[in-house]
Homo-oligomer: A and B are copies of this chain.
Amino acid sequence: MTEHRNRAGSGRERILDAAAQLFAAQGYAGTSTRDIAQQAGIRQPSLYAHFSVKSEILCELLVETLRPPVEYAAKLFDDTDLPARDRLIRLLDFDIRGLFAGRRPVAVLGVLPEVRGPEFAEAHRLRNGLRELYGRLCGDALAAAGAPVGPDELHRTTAIVFTLVEGISARRFEDPDLDVDRTIQDTTTAILRILGV
């Protein structure tokens, strides 16, 4: 491990950068706050000035992955001039592009058993919110295409769409050289075909 990297940015940002790198390389449970402090080039007590426990760091990384697409999707709903299908395409572009940016490969860690407790409640709330927004956009796109579906079918279709989008973070994890534009295009095409819109 290289010590004293990530000297740029505030202490908090350096801690998040270091944690994202280490979690991705050696796992969440396999990384201690001591490792994170060392990688961030700060002393452990300084880390505790920003985060009281390790789970708080992972929760913040998950939250910062989820908040931008949730806010973007919420804004998209106000843009009623845009057809529902185009709004869905825009959300997919924004969300998947985000999963490839910066520290976001850690998003896959959200599926871990360790990440189910109440200390991750804010991440779960945002994830449920994002899935619900995907569901509403899929429902609107289907209705606009003259193929409205009931709540149960919409729920099941949304589960498939969301599984595919979340699966991208795992693929990013496996193949850091994955072509972003191509992956967005392939995933969007697949999802529009699943919906039949």
- Residues in chain A within 8 A of chain B (CB atoms): 23-30, 108, 111-114, 156-157, 159-160, 163-164, 166-168, 170-171, 173-174, 182, 186-187, 190, 193-194, 196
B111 with A173: CB separation less than 8 A: yes
Smallest CB-CB A-B distances: 7 pairs:
A29-B29, A163-B167, A27-B114, A27-B113, A190-B194, A111-B170, A167-B167
B114–A30 touching, CB < 8 Å? yes
On chain B, the residues within 8 Å of A190 by CB distance are 160, 194
Which of B112, B159, B166, B186 contacts A112 (CB under 8 A)?
B112
A187 to B157, CA, bound (A): 9
**Beyond A25-B113, A27-B29, A29-B29, 14 extra complex contacts between A and B, CB < 8 Å:** A23-B113, A24-B113, A26-B113, A27-B28, A29-B30, A30-B114, A108-B111, A111-B173, A159-B186, A160-B186, A163-B163, A163-B164, A166-B170, A193-B193
Chain B proximity of A125: nearest CB distance (Å): 15
Q: Which of B111, B114, B156 contacts A182 (CB 8 A)?
A: B156
Give Cα distance in the complex from A109 to B190, angstroms: 25
A193 to B29 CA separation, bound complex (whole angstroms): 39
CA distance A194 to B174 in the complex (A): 23
In angstroms, Cα B174 to Cα A26, docked, is 23
In angstroms, how far is the closest chain B Cβ from the Cβ of A169?
A: 9
CB of A110, distance to nearest CB on chain B (Å): 9
Q: Which residues of the other chain, B, contact A112 by a CB distance below 8 angstroms?
A: 27, 112
Q: A65 → chain B, closest Cβ, in Å? A: 16
Hey, which chain B residues are within 8 Å of A170, CB to CB? 111, 163, 166
5 cross-chain CB contacts under 8 A: A26-B114, A30-B114, A111-B174, A163-B168, A167-B167
